[in-house]
Amino acid sequence: MTIQRYLEDFAPGQRFSGGTVTVEADAIMAFARQFDPQPFHTDPGTAEATFFKGLAASGWHTAALTMRMLVESGIGIAWGIIGREVEQIGWPRPTRPGDRLRIESEVMEVRRSRSRPDMGTARIRTETFNQDDEVVLTMVAALIVPARAT
């Protein structure tokens, strides 16, 4: 049975975990060729001479993998994960071929809409970690969450 969480089911401090996803070099290059075709994402040889000193996943690839893990984390928002706003996103270190990623998310704030009391917003902070527990992505997002019908 799929979990269906509503606004009333979320509270600050609540945590969700997800993962793992292993990042392969072929997937890094395929994503980059389509969405971020820079040599440090598409060509391992050329990448050695860049800022990254080797092949690195696009930050947007890491963000997409984070989204997948968030969906699979059991957060179970009744309407699905609908973003209203990404307030902050950062990539403190690159995602590399062979990295095994996982996420940790925490509810920061829950607020019912005054103009639409049938829904509200949950602010969620998510961090994506590699196998060495190093953070490769941080994100704070405001998600639209339905309220229970009264």
Peptide bond into 46 cis (omega under 30): no
Per-residue confidence (pLDDT) for residue 3, from 0 to 100: 83
Mean pLDDT by 10 residues, the chain (150 residues): 88 94 98 98 97 97 97 92 97 98 98 95 98 98 92
Within-domain flag for 2? no
Domain CATH number, residue 46: 3.10.129.10
Per-residue confidence (pLDDT) for residue 74, from 0 to 100: 85
Overall pTM > 0.85: yes
The tokens of 131 are what? 């196998």
Q: How many domains does the chain have?
A: 1
* Biggest alpha carbon–alpha carbon distance for the chain: 60
Within-domain flag for 51? yes
Within-domain flag for 1? no
Per-residue confidence (pLDDT) for residue 125, from 0 to 100: 98
User: Degrees (nearest 5) of the Cα angle 60, 136, 103?
Assistant: 90
Residues of the domain holding 95:
7-146
